Amino acid sequence: MNRSLKLLLALPLLATPALAAARETQECRIRIMRPLADDTGRRWNAGQIVPADFIRKDDQGTFYCEDHGACVPQRSNGAVVTRPIDCRAGKAISAETFYLDPIPAVMGASAARQMLTRRRAEERLSALGFSNAAAGTFAEDYASAPSSRNGRLVARALAGSRTAIANLKRILQ
């Protein structure tokens, strides 16, 4: 393969180094106890594990939900069909929504700290005007790789540096 073709293929990768790949911080895990369908229609079998970030309670019951993802019911036809593995209900986000907080003794103290660090950073970045996607990506960088370029930049932004905030916004352009 000639050099210019290699460069052309590498350009998309070089143009987006700021936005991290997959989520590395641990999420709460919910065990499926009986076969069920989530709110998007996806079928889950007993024994499978699904990630969740918060609990939603409404007229139709209690649901474990992934941020910007699907929700699985806690009960179906009166029977418990899901059970949290390493988290419990935490602080209320709204009247019907509650965070899932890690249980450090089950999840591990380091993973629990990292998860809470990511959550707090994401909340603060959202309050600074970043989109949910950008706040989540930068918060992930901050929590999972705090000494990385983006991790350090996020730390400065969270400390109030206008220059760091402007640099994060410039990365998104």
Q: Is 44 a residue whose pLDDT tops 60?
A: yes
The pLDDT > 90 percentage for the chain reads: 81
Q: Which residue has the higher pLDDT, 39 or 15?
A: 39
pLDDT of residue 116: 96
* Residue 19 per-residue DSSP state: S
| Cα 48 from Cα 50, distance rounded (Å) | 7
Mean residue pLDDT of the chain comes to: 87
Rg (CA), the chain: 19
Residue 17 has pLDDT above 50, yes or no: no
Residue 2 CB neighbours (<10 A): 7
